Amino acid sequence: MSELSFKAAELDAGDQLAEVRSRFVLDTVSDHAADAAGVYLDGNSLGALPAAVPGRVEDVVRRQWGELRIRSWDESGWWTAPERIGDRIAPLVGAAAGQIVVGDSTSVNVFKALVGAVRLVEERGGDGRDEILVDATTFPTDGYIAESAARLTGHTLRAVTPGEVPAALSDRTAAVLLNHVDYRTGRLHDLPGLTSAVHAAGAVAVWDLCHSAGALPVGLDEHGVDLAVGCTYKYLNGGPGSPAYLYVRGDLQDRFDSPLPGWNSHAEPFGMRPAYTPAEGVRRGRVGTPDILSMLALEAALDVWDGVSVAAVRAKSLALTDFFLECVEAYVPEGRVESLTPVRHEERGSQIALRCSDAGDVMRLLIERGVVGDFRRPDVLRFGFTPLYVGFADVERAARVLGDVLASR
């Protein structure tokens, strides 16, 4: 056993979150070659299946839908699920109850939040604020939505990197859309500082939390974030295509004017009135009929967080990524990869991105040997570290197999 293998065993022995791993459905040694026993490092794209979900979904399908049918809207709590599940997510992103509603996709919620941000500025008399700033390094859909929102609201869109935002802000700025963690590199951006700068300029801050919620502290309330969105199928393990969420700060809710006013966000949804009157509170962030099957699967998935603190998750995340970089340095031939992820903890999310000239082929070979990460064109290997189910032996094994694959090429 190598020195790093011994170190991994010691770190696993002291892991306070080790027992949480049993709450997930994961590969066993027999599923893959013993040397790479099912190391799953792609939770930043799709989280692993929580063990409680299949049984809960079966109950939803067979009993709630199959037997109770329409009665489940009331008797099984279907109607209140978007807010109830939002309150389950709230402590994971540092928000008080009553400020998060679950439903729709991240893209739809980005549209609601960004247009809603512009309307908040207009409502308070923001004449002359005709520009939207968007993160130039953003996940593509945020850029597409921002461009459409700018056209629809008659605003100019300007793409800048997060580091350029403070200098780019002006009395023309209405809203700023930023990613908390860069999806390619894993860089963690300064949410408190950038939110403060946006507010000082008189603009509204909208944050995309897809790559941070469930991996590190966010502090939405603490830092005065106006609006935020996020997906639930990455570090929250809600399942493929599980519904996203929208955060509207409590003191802004009575002024939040959604560009998608659906019957579910009406003050009297069953009144079937021709004129729209928005519901009170965060409910006005709803649109149409909730996607109950995937929403209740998400609710079951969130049970894995019982008794788990985000602070403990963050501490383990940093320890895992530190150890992975140490193992990569030891096992990977010199000069074969370059880390794109910042070394400083305050600038690092919960993934490591390595630049590698033949990254696509390398990732294919890693997956064949049971180490699952992902590849981003043209030359990036991404490894996501979900502290709820990734251990230090997994990390050592993944880096060792990566070294073997690169040495053989």
Q: Measured on CA atoms in the order 233, 239, 243, 248, is the torsion positive or negative?
A: negative
Angle ∠(203,209,212) on CA atoms, nearest 5: 135
Q: Which of 40, 139, 324, 375 is catalytic?
A: 139
d(CA 287, CA 249): 18
Amino acid at 307: G
Find the catalytic residue in 23, 129, 172, 234.
Answer: 234
364 carries an active-site annotation: no
Question: Which of 24, 40, 183, 233 does the annotation list as catalytic?
Answer: 233
Residue 234 annotated among the catalytic residues of the structure: yes
- Whether 316 is catalytic is no
Among residues 142, 208, 226, 394, the one annotated as catalytic is: 208
Question: Of 314, 284, 131, whose CA–CA distance to 212 is shortest?
Answer: 314
Joined tokens for residue 317: 């995340």
Between CA 37 and CA 78 the distance in angstroms is 39
**Helical residues (DSSP H) of 201-331, grouped into ranges:** 292-301, 310-331
Any idea what DSSP says for residue 302?
A: G
CA distances from 258 to 44, 120, 214, 261 (A): 29, 10, 26, 6
**117, 175 contact by CB (below 8 A):** yes
Q: Is 276 part of the annotated catalytic residue set? A: no
Which residues face 179 on adjacent strands? 208
The tokens 């809960």 sit on which residue?
A: 56
- Give 169's contacts (C-beta < 8 A, 6+ positions apart): 133, 176, 197, 198, 200, 201, 203
Catalytic residue among 249, 348, 382, 400: 382
Q: How far apart are CA 270 and CA 264, in angstroms?
A: 9
Query: Which residues lie across from 339 on neighbouring strands?
Result: 354
- Contact yes or no for 349/188 (Cβ under 8 A): yes
Distance of alpha carbon 325 from alpha carbon 321, whole angstroms: 6
- Report the alpha-carbon distance of residue 57 to residue 358 in Å, rounded: 41
**DSSP code of 227?**
E
Q: What count of Cα atoms within 13 Å lies in the side-chain half-sphere of residue 151? A: 5
- Enter the tokens of residue 173: 């700025």
Residue 144 is among the residues annotated as catalytic for this protein: no
Percentages of the chain per state (helix, strand, coil), in multiples of 5: 45, 15, 40
- How many residues are recorded in the chain? 409
User: Which residues does the annotation mark as catalytic?
Assistant: 139, 208, 233-234, 382
